[in-house]
Structure 1
Amino acid sequence: MSFKPNQNQQITLHDSFINQTPRTQKMIMNSWCKDFADIVFPAINEERFSVLYSCNSASRPNTPVNFTVGSLILKENNGLTDDELVESICCDVRYQYALHTTHLKEQPVSDRTFSRFRERLYNYEMETGRNLLEEEMMHLADVYDKYMNLNSNIKRMDSLMIASRCKRMSRLEIIYQSTSNAIRLIHRLGNEELIAADLMHYLNEDDYNRAIYYCKSDDVMPRLEKALQEAEKVKELMSDES
C-alpha cells in the first residue's frame, strides 16, 4: 500500500452537506464538527505517517491519513467503539463534515481500517522506538486545546491519552490474535479436550468483534489484563504439550 496525501476535497453535486436542508446545514455549522473541520483536521501532518507505507506509487493508495487520525480523535472524544465510529462516519453528516468527506459518495472506511492503522503504528514503534501518533498529538496539542475550549460539550481529554489508548488497543489486538491462533491450532489438531472452558470463546466466529471491534476505550485495560491472563494459560498448555 502506497502513501498518497489527501488533496482532493472538492465539493460535488452529490455533496452530503449541500444537499441538506438550510435548517440542518445551520445546525451542522453551529455544532462541534465545524470547529473540528476548521481547526483540527487541517493541522494533521500526513507526511509524518508516510514511513508506514510503500514508496511504490503503482500500489494501492492508503486510506487518507488525516481522515484516519481525525477519526481516531473523534472516537476518543465521543467514547465510541470502532463499530460505532464506522457507523457514525457512514451515516452522520457531522462526522463527514468534520473529516472533509461530504463530497464522497462512499466513505473511505471499513471494519478493519483502524485496526490496520494501529497495527502499522505499533509495528513501526517496535522497530524504531518512535510513537508517531504521540508525536502527532504533541504537534496538535495547541490546536487541540483551542478546539476543546470552543467545544465544552465534547468530552475533554488529554491529547496524549489518544495515542496511549491507541497503543493499548494495538496490544490487545495482537495478544488476542496470537491467543486465538493458538487455540484454533489446538482445536484443528483434534485436542479440543485440552482447551479450558474459559478459553472456548476464542473458537466463536463472532468473538473477535465482541473483544475488539465493539470495545470502548474505557474497556481496553480490563480486556487487556484478561487477554494477558488467557495468553499465559495457553502458553502453559502448549509448553506442557511440547
Structure 2
Amino acid sequence: MFRENYEHQQEKLFSPVKDLPAGPKKKLRNHWSTHFYEHVFTQIDERTFGRLYHGGYSRPNKPVNELVSLEIIKHLLGLSDKQLEHAYLFDFRVRNALGKETLGDNICAKTFTNFRQRLMEYEEETGRDLLHEVFQDHRSYLQDEFEIDASTQRMDSTFIEANVKQLSRIDLIAKVVHNFLDDLVREIVQELPAGLDEFADTENLELSYELEPGEAGSTMETLIEHAVWLIDAFEAEENYAELESFAHLQQVLDEQCYRIPELEDDRREHGEDDDNDHPGDGESPGWEPLRTFTSSDGEPSHEQATDEPAQPDEDGPEHDRVGLKEPEEISSGSIQNPHDVDATHRRKGGESYCGYKANVAETCDAENPFRLITTVRVDTNNTVDGDLLAEDVQELPEETGLTDLLVDGGYMHKEVEACCGDHGITQHFTGLTGQPPPAEKLSLAEAEWDEHRMVACPAGHATIRAAIHAREWSYLRTNGQRVL
C-alpha cells in the first residue's frame, strides 16, 4: 500500500540536534546534508511513484522520498548497498539529509533491490523512467530557485567501465557453455558426450591462464564444437531453447564464428525423428562438428554426416561447418561478458574499454553561483557522441533556455547540426576529429590563420594569395567551372 511520508515535517521535541552547542549547530546548517534535505529530499514528488505499489490494504511502503534520496546518496558517497544500509542506520549525515533527527529506523539491503526492480519493471511496461523524471524536476527547481543562466552550456562524454571481468575469447565461449550446462539437470549433463561435462565445473573457466601457448588453437576448436553441438541438440527443446543462457550461447557463436555452407543432413534424409529421444541424445542435426565426439565408453557418439568418412588434410577437416572469425571481423557491440550483455567494447587512444558511455551537459556561465548539470544520457560506449546529443536537442532549449553549446569535434554531425539550428542552438566546436597527423608531415593546424586566410606557413614559405575579379568569377560560374 502506498503512503506519502510527512514524518520529516514534524519537529522532534527532544533530539541530539537540539542538544548541540551553537558552533556545531552553525556548521550543521552549512553542511551538505542540510542543503540536500532542503533542495533535494523535500522536492521529490512521491505521488509519481504511487503506481509502483498495490492499491489495496497492505503494509505501508518504505517512504519513497527516502529510497530515492538514498539512491542519490549511494553514488554521491560511493557506497555499496551494505554500506548504504549502515549509513542509514548510524550515519548522522545521511539521517540529517533525510530529515531525521534521531536513530531507530531500520532498513535492509533487500529494500533497495526490490525498489530498483519495481522501477525497471515499470519502465519496461510504460517506457517511463521515474528517476529521470526526478532529475528533470530538480533541474527546473534549482534553475528557478538560484536563477541559473543556462543559455550557454558545455557537453562532453566519458566512458563508464562495466563492473564485470573482461574475458578472452576462450573464456567467453567457455563461460556461455558453462552457464547453459549449469541450467540443465545433472542427469542430462551426465549423458552428454564426453568432455562437455567438464565445463559444468566452475574450476575450468579461466582457461586462458592455464593453457600453454600451443594449446590455445585446439582448445578453441573444442569449445566451438561443444557450443555448436549444444545448439543443434537443444534448439528444438522449448524448455531449454527459451533459456537466457541458451540465447547467450547462440549469440556468442554467431558473433565469434561464421557458418560454412551446410552439408546434407542425414537425420532429415533418413527421416529419423524419435519423440522419445532424450534432449542431447543422438548426433547434431545441423552443424558439422570440427571432429567427432567420443562417449565415455570409447565409442563415437555420432558419425560424420557424409557417406565417406572425412579425410583431413593440411588445411584441417574437410567438412567443417563453422570457422572462427578474425578479431577485426567481430562487432564492437558483441557480448563481452554474459553477466552484462549490454556492455560493449571500444578502443580509444590505444586503450581498450568495456562498458558504457555517459553524455553530460552542464551550465558554464561565470556569473552563476554553481554549475548545474542539465542532462545525463547513458548508452553503449560505441555510440557516436552526435547521436547522444540528438536525444537532447529538443528538450534542452525548451526546458533550460539553451542557445550556445560548447562541444568537441566528436559531436560534428551534419544532421545533428541542422537539427540544432532548427531549435536555435549554436554549436561551438573546440577540437577536430580524425587521426593525429603523422610526425613526418606538416599539419594545417600548425599554420597561422587570419579567419580563412593563411598568413604564415609552418614550413617558412611565403604565402600566396590568389584574387579573382567578380567578372571572372561570374564567367567561371556560368561555364560550370569549380574554383578551389
Q: Secondary structure at the match of 1:94?
A: helix
Which one-letter code corresponds to 1:196 in the other structure? Answer: T
- How far does residue 102 in structure 1 lie from its aligned partner after superposition? 2.2
Q: Secondary structure at the match of 2:66?
A: helix
Gapped runs of 5+ residues in structure 2? 148-154, 164-175, 190-196, 207-334, 342-484
Tell me which residue corresponds to 2:41: 41
- How far does residue 125 in structure 1 lie from its aligned partner after superposition? 0.8
Tell me which residue corresponds to 1:131: 129
Gapped runs of 5+ residues in structure 1? 150-157, 159-164, 170-178, 201-223, 230-242
Tell me which residue corresponds to 1:98: 97
Q: 1:225 to 1:71 in 2, by over 3 A?
A: farther
Q: 1:16 to 1:59 in 2, by over 3 A?
A: farther
TM-score normalized by the length of structure 2: 0.32
Tell me which residue corresponds to 1:111: 109
Which one-letter code corresponds to 2:29 in the other structure? Answer: M
Tell me which residue corresponds to 1:228: 340
- How far does residue 4 in structure 1 lie from its aligned partner after superposition? 0.4
Tell me which residue corresponds to 2:433: none
Percent of aligned pairs with the same amino acid:
29
Give the whole-Å Cα distance in 2 for the aligned partners of 1:188 and 1:19. 63
Which one-letter code corresponds to 1:49 in the other structure? Answer: F
Q: What root-mean-square deviation, in Å, do the aligned CA atoms of Structure 1 and Structure 2 show?
A: 3.6
Give the whole-Å Cα distance in 2 for the aligned partners of 1:141 and 1:74. 17
- How far does residue 32 in structure 1 lie from its aligned partner after superposition? 0.5
Q: Is the 8 A contact 1:3 1:50 kept in 2?
A: yes
TM-score normalized by the length of structure 1: 0.60
Tell me which residue corresponds to 2:81: 82
What's the CA shift string for 1:189-218, capped at 9, x where partnerless? 476851332769xxxxxxxxxxxxxxxxxx
Is 1:31 the counterpart of 2:31 in the alignment?
Answer: yes
Q: 1:83 to 1:187 in 2, by over 3 A?
A: farther
Give the whole-Å Cα distance in 2 for the aligned partners of 1:197 and 1:24. 55
Give the whole-Å Cα distance in 2 for the aligned partners of 1:31 and 1:146. 22
Determine which structure has the larger helix proportion and give its number.
Answer: 1
Q: Is the 8 A contact 1:11 1:103 kept in 2?
A: no
Q: Is the 8 A contact 1:33 1:95 kept in 2?
A: yes
Pick one of 114, 119, 122 that aligns with 1:121: 119
Q: Is the 8 A contact 2:90 2:103 kept in 1?
A: no
What's the CA shift string for 1:24-57, capped at 9, x where partnerless? 333322211111111111110100000100111x
Which one-letter code corresponds to 1:105 in the other structure? Answer: G
- How far does residue 12 in structure 1 lie from its aligned partner after superposition? 3.1
Give the whole-Å Cα distance in 2 for the aligned partners of 1:184 and 1:38. 53
Which one-letter code corresponds to 2:89 in the other structure? Answer: C
Determine which structure has the larger strand proportion and give its number.
Answer: 2
Which one-letter code corresponds to 2:58 in the other structure? Answer: S
- Mapping of residues 146-157 of structure 1, within 5 Å: none
Paired positions, count: 176
Q: Is the 8 A contact 2:17 2:101 kept in 1?
A: yes
Q: 1:79 to 1:97 in 2, by over 3 A?
A: same
Give the whole-Å Cα distance in 2 for the aligned partners of 1:187 and 1:21. 65
Q: Secondary structure at the match of 1:4?
A: coil
Tell me which residue corresponds to 1:215: none
Tell me which residue corresponds to 2:12: 12
Q: Is the 8 A contact 1:40 1:147 kept in 2?
A: no
Q: Secondary structure at the match of 2:40?
A: helix
- How far does residue 130 in structure 1 lie from its aligned partner after superposition? 1.1
- How far does residue 116 in structure 1 lie from its aligned partner after superposition? 0.9
Structure number with larger C-alpha Rg: 2
Q: Is the 8 A contact 2:89 2:104 kept in 1?
A: no
Q: 1:29 to 1:53 in 2, by over 3 A?
A: same
Tell me which residue corresponds to 2:318: none
Give the whole-Å Cα distance in 1 for the aligned partners of 2:16 and 2:205. 45
What's the CA shift string for 1:129-162, capped at 9, x where partnerless? 111111121111134568999xxxxxxxx9xxxx
Q: 1:225 to 1:49 in 2, by over 3 A?
A: farther
